[in-house]
Amino acid sequence: MPIVRNVSRAVSQLLQSSACGCGVSIVPVRCIGISPRQVACDASFHSVSFSESDHPRVLITGGLGQLGVGLAKLLRKRFGKNNVILSDIRKPADNVFYSGPFIYSDILDYKNLREIVVNNRITWLFHYSALLSAVGEANVPLARAVNITGLHNVLDIAAEHNLRLFVPSTIGAFGPTSPRDPTPDLCIQRPRTIYGVSKVHAELMGEYYHYRYGLDFRCLRYPGIISADSQPGGGTTDYAVQIFHDAIKTGKFECNLKPDTRLPMMYIDDCLKATLEVMEAPAEALSMRTYNISAMSFTPEELAQEVQKHVPELQVTYSVDAVRQAIADSWPMNFDDSNARRDWGWKHDYDLPELVSTMFSFLGSDSRIAQAN
């Protein structure tokens, strides 16, 4: 199918930090302690010890994006290194490649995605492949292929093989006619980005497959996610990651949103914890299949003020990007996540001061930060 091949090539060229992947060959899987050149690697990889046999067998698509690597690390600690396969269409860094099983995969290749699930006895699938908001608006046909066609492949395979499937949603699944402060789990959703439209589609298709075919579909609507170990990836909320890098490197930060643009945010550790918790929650505890989760809500100005407590000389200017600002103005200002807190005990750990302190501690101390402290 030349269209699929062309889209796959375009994905590979375009996506640098948006996650996209799943479906090719079992040969590239790396085995711990065995050279990737050895043909015997596959046999060793397929064999797991008795102590690991009761754990889920996990596949993460789009695993080299902001969340996949951190999720793999968390799940490997819990379920065993060889029970969690990270996948993407891009070449992983050495530290990622040698930290556990990695496989090249493309979600647009249905046959080989199915082959990976079968050959590796996958039972849980985390589907992180997607083009983010601003990147998606720059290439709508590609976003439609990756975010919607790829999802359909994943849904069909998950239903066929009785997988527990997690697909993240987002604040971008809401639109300007949705209640914004706060935004409940169930309300009008009319997003105006292809990213948001594809996420609403994912929520509804996942729920349909659950009620129609019994698919164990679980979904969280993430707020803006902030982490120290990945570069900004084309999302509207990525200013909240960029400010830390710029504060350390140059002491100057130019924000592409208005200073009073309030959006819900979350530190990555809270995000990963919530993802694991909802996947481990008993099915009978879930009153719905898609939940809001939140931790804090702030504006660029409020974040800058907190960052300046660590880097007092940080200079902040504003050069508003009209596309990103329009996206942000259509999104929730605060998430109502009371259902998640009631049904499966969701509770966040990081508020804004803890977030900023943690980001600087991970990114390393600069002379300006050392002086300030």
What residues are annotated to the active site?
A: 195
Number of H helices, E strands in the chain: 16, 13
Three-state DSSP at 130 gives coil
d(CA 278, CA 273): 9
Question: DSSP code of 265?
Answer: E
Distance of CA 257 to the CA centre of its chain: 22
Residue 96: what residue type? V
CB atoms within 10 A of CB 319: 8
Is 170 in a helix, a strand, or coil? Answer: strand
For residue 153, give the amino acid letter.
N
By DSSP bridging, strand 296-298 and strand 263-267 are antiparallel
- Cβ 66 vs Cβ 131: under 8 Å: no
- Neighbouring C-beta atoms of residue 301, cutoff 10 Å: 17
- Furthest CA-CA distance within the chain: 60
